Amino acid sequence: MDSPVVLSVVGNRPQYIKAAIVSGAVRVVAREVLLDTGQHYDRELAGDFYDELDLPRPDIDLGVGSAGHARQTAAMLTGIADAIVAVAPDVVLVYGDTNSTLAGALAAAKLNVPIAHVEAGLRSFDRRMPEEVNRVLTDHVSSLLFCPTAAAVANLAREGIVTGVVQTGDVMFDLAMATLTPEREEAVLERYGVRPGGYVLATAHRPATTDEPARLAAVLAGLGALSETVLFLAHPRTAASIDRHGLAGLVTPNIRLSGPVGYAESLALVKNARVVATDSGGLQKEAYFFAVPCVTMRDSSEWVETIESGWNVLVGTDREALAAALADPPRGARHPAFYGRGDAGRRLGAALGAFLARIAVGEGSPGRAVEALHPSERPSDEGRAE
Ligand code: UD1
Ligand code: UDP
């Protein structure tokens, strides 16, 4: 019997990072076809991660690039639908909560192909965030929902989703635990000229932080109020926004503004920071993995357990609240293992394998995918596998 086929959709920095664990697990139980939407395209957000994390090269590269949400998602949707028809996968696998995630889920749902969602069940309960809409919609069309935490499982249950839900643990925790060595950390700190616990690590990329000049100015002012070094790894949109809004004057000498860095470097900088200031989902978690306090420059978080346990605090973009939290960072009394035991990839692979074995006796997805097409889009019968 032919191997089952999984079409995996990636397209953003955090998805390449998660794929470093998930792709290996998928390839144990299926033939993986990797599709990159091209949502991220700068080397430092995309290509470099293939090299650093030794990811298989994408079989299909859509190259959609940047655009407004509708246009970008629409371009991905048609490109992924075409790929599904060509590849005829048994399952489409999507990651997280970005536009690439939603496009992959929607394309598969329209073609009746089962969807597996990595990082299912997260909720910030803030529908103004594009990511929240992407998560909710993706979960509701998914057949297999790989949840990183117990809170994610509970969120799905509240929305009536109880079938196909698997609490795997967090694949980013697996990778974080496998990545650093003392020598590697030392080399990174030496390069930056900082000591463990002697600096603040900052990142920002959400529209709510970066697109509104007053909010971005408040963030820079809060970071600038510190006397210690702030390593600010800016997403290109953040750097562009600082320039566009004439905020460069707020980048005080203690703020060392740079572009994005590689994964191991970012992780080493998180682990050794006195405190992390961020609006990133992944960094909130990574700070928790290493018991580093986190100050989150957002009004809500989907990683609720980091907040409830006292290791993370929400400050929005309020300058005073940010400065106060950085001066006296949150430190929980306990540090429970919310994110599993470092075997999330193995658990995910096992659940995916069992699912594929169950559907192997079914009708098979290729025929169903083709039937879901508009007649004008269907390939001619010639050359179609029986
Ligand atoms: C996207 C995701 C966000 C995720 C983040 C991970 C959505 C809606 N957003 O945010 O959930 O947390 O990725 O990093 O899916 N740009 C570049 N180079 C690139 C890509 C983008 O300069 O390679 C600039 C462009 O000006 C672009 C802007 O960044 O318009 C935003 O890019 P986009 O992919 O829409 O969102 P991110 O902020 O990267
Ligand atoms: N990261 C990185 N280089 C950087 C900043 C972040 O490799 O310059 C890593 C970080 O360690 C984490 C992931 O990117 O593993 C988080 O991705 P991002 O903040 O882009 O997206 P989010 O998690 O908010 O969706």
Domain edges within the chain: 5-170+340-377, 177-327
Cα-Cα-Cα-Cα dihedral of 1, 106, 41, 29, to 10°?
Answer: -20
Is the CB of residue 260 below 6 angstroms from any atom belonging to ligand 2? yes
Angle, CA of 82, 13 and 106, to the nearest 5°: 30
In angstroms, the CA 187 to CA 179 distance is 14
Tens digit of each residue's pLDDT, the chain (386 residues): 689 999 999 999 999 999 999 999 999 999 999 999 999 999 999 999 999 999 999 999 999 999 999 999 999 999 999 999 999 999 999 999 999 999 999 999 999 999 999 999 999 999 999 999 999 999 999 999 999 999 999 999 999 999 999 999 999 999 999 999 999 999 999 999 999 999 999 999 999 999 999 999 999 999 999 999 999 999 999 999 999 999 999 999 999 999 999 999 999 999 999 999 999 999 999 999 999 999 999 999 999 999 999 999 999 999 999 999 999 999 999 999 999 999 999 999 999 999 999 988 874 444 455 556 677 766 554 434 33
Give how far Cα 59 sits from Cα of 32, 37, 105, 356, Å.
9, 11, 19, 21
pLDDT number for residue 2: 84
Tell me phi and psi for residue 297, to 5 degrees: -90, 60
The residues with which 10 forms a beta bridge, in sequence order, are 36
**Any atom of ligand 2 within 6 Å of the Cβ of 261:** yes
Strand order in the sheet with 91-95: 60-61, 31-36, 5-10, 91-95, 115-118, 144-147, 165-167
CB distance 211 to ligand 1 below 6 Å: no
Pairing of strands 144-147, 165-167: parallel
* Angle made by CA atoms 233, 282, 36, in degrees to the nearest 5: 90
Nearest to 306 by CA among 161, 151, 131: 151
83: Cβ–Cβ under 8 A, 6 or more apart, which residues?
7, 33, 35, 60, 62
What CATH homologous superfamily does 177-327 map to?
Glycogen Phosphorylase B; (3.40.50.2000)
Whether residue 298 has its Cβ less than 6 Å from ligand 2: no
Cα–Cα distances (Å) from 140 to 100, 109, 116, 144, 174, in that order, read 16, 10, 11, 10, 26
Domains 5-170+340-377 and 177-327 share a fold: yes
- The Å distance, Cα 68 to ligand 1 centre, comes to 10
- For residue 202, the CA-to-ligand 2 centroid distance in Å is 11
Whether the CB of 13 sits within 6 Å of ligand 1: yes
Q: How many helical (H) and strand (E) elements, i.e. helices and strands, does the chain have?
A: 17, 13
| Residue 332: how many other CB atoms lie within 10 Å | 16
Name the closest ligand to CA 280: 2
- In the reported structure, the alpha carbon of residue 11 is separated from the centroid of ligand 1 by a whole-number distance in angstroms of 10
Q: What is the pLDDT of residue 200?
A: 98
**Residues designated as active site:** 205
pTM: 0.95
Q: What is the reported pLDDT for 362?
A: 74
Is the shortest distance between the CB of 281 and ligand 2 below 6 Å? yes
- Please tell me the distance between residue 94's alpha carbon and the centre of ligand 2 in angstroms: 18
Quick check: CB of 329 below 6 Å from ligand 2? Answer: no
Q: Distance (Å, rounded) from C-alpha 37 to C-alpha 364?
A: 25
Atom of ligand 2 lying closest to residue 279 CA: 24
Cα of 366 to ligand 1 centre, how many Å?
32
pLDDT at 366 (0 to 100): 47
**For the CA of 176, the nearest atom of ligand 2:** 15
Nearest CA to ligand 2 atom 9: 263
Rounded Cα–Cα distance for residues 384 and 373 (Å): 15
Kindly give, in sequence order, each residue whose CB lies less than 8 Å from that of residue 219, ignoring residues fewer than 6 positions away. Answer: 204, 209, 297, 317, 319, 322
What does the alpha-carbon distance between residue 255 and residue 19 come to, in Å, rounded to a whole number? 32
**CATH superfamily to which 5-170+340-377 belongs:** Glycogen Phosphorylase B; (3.40.50.2000)
CA–CA separation, 17 vs 171, rounded Å? Answer: 9
Tokens of 219: 């963030």
Which residue has the least CA distance to atom 38 on ligand 1? Answer: 205
What distance lies between CA 121 and its chain's CA centroid?
Answer: 13
